Chains A and B, each alone.
Chain A
Amino acid sequence: MHDMSVQEHHHAPPTSFIRKHVFSLDHKVIGKQYYGLALIAAFFGMFLSWLMRIHLAWNNAPIPGLQLLSKAGAPGGVMTPEYYLQLMTMHGTIMVFFVLTTAPFAAFGNYFLPIQVGAEDMPFPRFNMMSFWVTFTAFVVLVSSFFLSDGPTLGGWTQYAPLNAVGAVAGPGQGLGVVLWMTSIALFCVGQLLGSLNFITTTLDLRVKGMSLMRLPLSAWAWFITSCMGLTAFAVLMPACILAILDHVAGTSFFVPSNLVINDQLQPHSGGSTLLWQHLFWFFGHPEVYIAIVPGLGIVSHVLLANMRKQMLSQRTLIYSMGALAVLSYMVYGHHMFVSGMNPYSSLAFSFPTLVITIPSTIVVLIWTFSLYGSKLRINSASLFALGFISMFVSGGVSGFFLAQPSIDIMLHATYFVVGHFHLVMGVAAMFGIFAGTYFWFPKMFGRFMNETLGRVHFWLSFVGAYCIFMPFHYLGMAGNVRRYASFVDDYLQPLIPVHRFITVAALCTGAAQLVFLYNLIHSRFWGKPAPDNPWEATSLEWSTPTTPPPFDNFGGKHPVVYHDPFQYGVQSSVGDYVMQTSPEQVATEHDEK
């Protein structure tokens, strides 16, 4: 039923190993490289969180073998406070940048965006290749700071000034450690800018005949919106990082004011502003939250559609809501700074857009949920994770009601409430989006199914486990448990330590469940059940490729022609209850985008 126009201009795939697998220009290989990087980063980041959680729950207990990782950081296996903060900083940085940005956006987006618009590749394949290798270099630079004699920076993933700019005098890792962190993140920004540029151009310029913007799948819309955010957000963070590096190496004072005294030494800086860093950082940082989650919204919508076997209540509303989230994300960033010392009127000004952002978020959830009404929902690993995503997105989202209000933020700022909030909404939810995408697209990427039983085991342990970890974080925060403490020595915090122990046990178990996923991924890659071209009976272009996995130029030298929107489920066609975008067959349908 696939109609391909006859314009043949077949591109031969590269034959050398290096061009094929290492410095590949193929968006699909680059997508898989991003996925691999995210996978390594995710397990590394998770391992760091295990060490942190064990230390928090059993403060002076030695962790066997930890001294081998860092003699100074863990003499006798007992973690020092500075090593705790260093692990925490690296955990946050690795997870936010190298997992939550790379996997849902750069990995899946690279692989599937060009195919979903019907293109052979991205418009700038060399930029695309550079984008990955620059990101990879950024990761290597970041991890290399573990090998410094005083370890990586301990300033947290937000790297607040002036701790990030005064140098080693402020603590271990604050000299070269910070410079490496800033270098890594500036490189990361370059990678994402190149990627965003490619994504935007792919979406706008490379759509095939018939593929109007409104006929793009929701996942493609999500990547497009995300790349627009990426282009503006990373463009702000990169110069901020460069300025911070200059404060270290060139004697400038962008982020350091006059008259600071550290260790009884008057610092040789003057005239800088610490709040400037916070403004620059959060102008990037809040959109970054949406850069992590919007691709998830798209992936989940895409996976749900194929598994509900019916149209969404309104795809346009979903697209507009994602767009609204993206625009609003720039107007709300000041809610990270309510008690930072900025003008208290600004706090009110930032509070209201933050409250308004609950509206598009609520609309997205309502559209999903009420689209389930009257569906023929198929339950499988992919749809379970997509539905789990909705549950997590709601749970993490409602705590935003609190943090959007400056008066309540007085109590909850910098507590575990915030940690619970962002872990659920941008950590766990985004991870669930990645998992849903993985179980859904794996058959297309590798021509084999993932093991369904293991997928379900993975889902159940992750779903229950994530709630056991992150719900109690909210309770701790409401009681006033401050975050970023290497141990809980305050009298007030002593009764809360059993809750931390519960969380640690849950984190260890949930983390172990991810090994099931890793095993499933690797095992299925080589020995999984072979998959047909369109195993889920889905409609979008990635399921129309002539082979599985798709050939080097995606459609075998032909340009597909698009006749329908990608939401045509629940119709009666010659192949079943769906009609593919490339099928010229006319079917009775409620509505078909032009």
Chain B
Amino acid sequence: MAKFFAVTIIVIAILSAIPILRHTWVAPEDISTHGALIDEQMSETMAEAGISFLAAQFILAIFIWKYSNPGPNAKVKQFPGGAKGLVIAAILVVGVEVMALGIFGVKAWANVYLQAPSADAMPVQVQAGQFAFYFRYPGPDGKFGTPHPELINEGTQNIFGLDPEHDVDARDDVVAAEMAIPVNKEIHLLMHTKDVGHSFYVRELRVQQDFVPGLDVTLHFTATKVGKYEIVCTQLCGLGHYNMKAYLEVMSQADFDNWLKQQAGQ
């Protein structure tokens, strides 16, 4: 029974590792400028975690195989290295390596969160609400109109609560249900939620950030590949959470300019 158990542990460990080694299920190809560092961090962590996982399971299995149900005359003995050796090993091997991972990982995080967007980054506002995303572009004047929560009315399609009658800045704002951005252009995303918590997750962009009710957060990124990608909500927001999504279209600058014109005309 013990030997069978030991073999089972080893078989499970190997079977668990196979899909990882074969890259059976992986994140889609990265289309951002900052994502490469995240992916690199991910594979380095996978290597460390994978080795720790396999080593721990194998040693466990070997000891179970070797030391279970010995004869009545067998004598117990202690591991010659003692506990001190193991504690030092845990601190030096696992502790230091994991800390090193953490320290190197800071750069990947800093790229996204600790650096300010460049001055010419294109501002786009995204507003989340149960259960849709809407996007707003400032229009030719480069200024967003001031939102008035009391004016928000989905029936009249005043999604952002704008008041173009009294607010000059709001008159040329472009509101869209999908997000289009030019390729290779840094985007400064201004995130606002009108009701509860939501999140903005684009796998290909290596971007995930919660919307915080009462607090507008910002994010910046640059997409490097033309295409159509899903933006999904990852923060439980109510019954329609599973279906809360929008599309991100990354297009050439010319296509984007046309798109924006079309949207403005609607």
A residues sitting closer than 8 Å to B (CB atoms) are 80-82, 85, 154-156, 160-163, 166, 170-172, 174, 256-262, 264, 266, 272-275, 308-311, 313-314, 317, 339-341, 344-345, 347-348, 351-352, 355-356, 358-359, 362-363, 365-367, 369-379, 384, 387, 390-391, 394-395, 398-399, 401-402, 404-408, 410-411, 413-415, 456, 463-464, 467, 471, 475-476, 478-480, 482-492, 496, 499, 569-570, 577, 590
Contact = CB atoms under 8 A, between A and B. Distances in A.
Given A366-B86, A369-B56, A408 B5 contact: no
Interface in B119-176: 129-130, 149-150, 152-155, 161
A163 B79 contact: no
A407 B41 contact: yes
A309 B77 CA distance: 10
B64 A377 contact: yes
28 contacts: A81-B242, A160-B197, A160-B235, A170-B130, A260-B194, A260-B196, A261-B129, A261-B161, A262-B195, A266-B152, A308-B76, A348-B109, A355-B99, A355-B102, A362-B94, A370-B79, A374-B76, A376-B76, A378-B68, A394-B60, A395-B57, A405-B101, A407-B41, A407-B112, A410-B38, A413-B208, A490-B245, A492-B230
Contacts, number: 317
A490 B241 contact: no
Given A274-B213, A359-B91, A467-B12, A478 B238 contact: no
The 3 closest A-B pairs by CB, nearest first: A257-B214, A314-B83, A344-B113
Given A154-B239, A264-B155, A369-B56, 14 more contacts: A80-B239, A154-B236, A257-B214, A274-B197, A317-B87, A376-B69, A402-B46, A406-B105, A414-B234, A464-B12, A480-B28, A480-B201, A486-B239, A489-B242
Contacts of A344: 109, 113-114
Contacts of B41: 405, 407-408
B239 A172 contact: yes
B99 A356 contact: yes
B227 interface: no
A387 B152 CA distance: 59
Contacts of B26: 478-479
B237 A163 contact: yes
Contacts of B53: 394-395, 398
Given A163-B236, A375-B76, A479 B201 contact: no
Given A313-B82, A401-B101, A475-B19, A485 B242 contact: yes
Contact of B69 (A348, A378, A490): A378
Interface string B222-261: 0000000010101111111111010000000000000000
B263 interface: no
Given A372-B63, A410-B206, A482-B234, A340 B212 contact: yes
A483 B242 CA distance: 9
Interface centre among A347, A405, A492 (most CB of B within 10 A): A405
A488 to B, nearest CB: 7
Contacts of B129: 261
B238 A407 contact: no
A570 B67 CA distance: 14
Nearest to A487: B242
Nearest to A171: B238
Nearest to B92: A359
A258 B68 CA distance: 64
Contacts of B9: 391
B129 to A, nearest CB: 8
A478 B213 contact: no
Contacts of B77: 373-374
B262 interface: no
A337 B80 CA distance: 43
Contacts of B79: 313, 370-371, 373-374
B7 interface: no
Nearest to B6: A387
A387 B5 contact: yes
Contacts of A85: 236, 239, 241
A362 B19 CA distance: 25
A309 B98 contact: no
A379 B95 contact: no
Contacts of B194: 260-261
Contacts of A154: 236, 238-239
B127 to A, nearest CB: 10
Contacts of B38: 407-408, 410-411
B86 A313 contact: yes
Contacts of B78: 310-311, 313, 373-374, 590
Nearest to B46: A402
Contact of A261 (B69, B149, B206, B207): B149
Given A257-B214, A405-B45, A414-B234, A467 B196 contact: no
Interface in B1-58: 1-2, 5, 8-9, 12, 16, 19-20, 24-28, 37-38, 41-42, 45-46, 48-50, 52-53, 56-57
Contacts of A155: 236
Contacts of B265: none
B232 A490 contact: yes
B56 A374 contact: no
A407 B214 contact: no
B67 A377 contact: yes
B203 interface: yes
B108 interface: yes
Contacts of A486: 239, 241-242
Nearest to B2: A379
Contacts of B264: none
Given A260-B213, A348-B109, A170 B208 contact: no
Given A257-B214, A257-B215, A366-B90, A402 B63 contact: no
A421 to B, nearest CB: 11
A366 to B, nearest CB: 4
B46 to A, nearest CB: 8
Contact of B236 (A160, A172, A376, A390): A160
B1 A408 contact: no
B65 to A, nearest CB: 10
Nearest to A466: B12
B239 A81 contact: yes
B45 A356 contact: no
B88 to A, nearest CB: 10
Nearest to A577: B76
A387 B59 CA distance: 12
A407 B217 CA distance: 17
A470 to B, nearest CB: 10
Interface string B187-209: 00000001111010101001111
Contacts of B236: 85, 154-156, 160, 163, 484
